[in-house]
Amino acid sequence: MPSKEALRDEIAHIIHADCARGLATIPFNTADRILSTIRAALKEPNERMIEAGCDQYDFGDQITQGEILAKEWRAMLKASALGEQSE
């Protein structure tokens, strides 16, 4: 998985390429490329992300399966290159 900085640089490069062509607004295909970059970063969770998600599961929790999954995904995203805990 790429680092937060690598993702930022890749997305900035996509946007700057359109600005260099003199475009006043970002076209849909640029937005698609940005979203593809973000999705690719999340497609293969690293060990830290998986551990963060698993750490959220507590057999004593009296919450629904949906709430458990939401807690796990929030923790995984936070541990990803898109989250605050990335290096």
Say yes or no: 40 and 50 in one domain: no
Enclosing domain of residue 55: 46-81
**In this structure, is residue 87 part of a structural domain?**
no
Say yes or no: 2 and 39 in one domain: yes
Is the pLDDT score of 86 beyond 60?
no
| pTM (2 d.p.) | 0.56
**In this structure, is residue 5 part of a structural domain?**
yes
- Which tops the pLDDT comparison, 71 or 27? 71
DSSP letter string, 18-79: HHHTT-SS--HHHHHHHHHHHHHHHHS--HHHHHHHHHT--TT----HHHHHHHHHHHHHHH
Collect all residues with Cβ–Cβ distance below 8 Å to 44 and sequence separation of at least 6: 1
Domain count, the chain: 2
Q: What is the pLDDT of residues 73-82, one digit of tens each?
A: 889 888 887 7
Say yes or no: 1 and 26 in one domain: yes
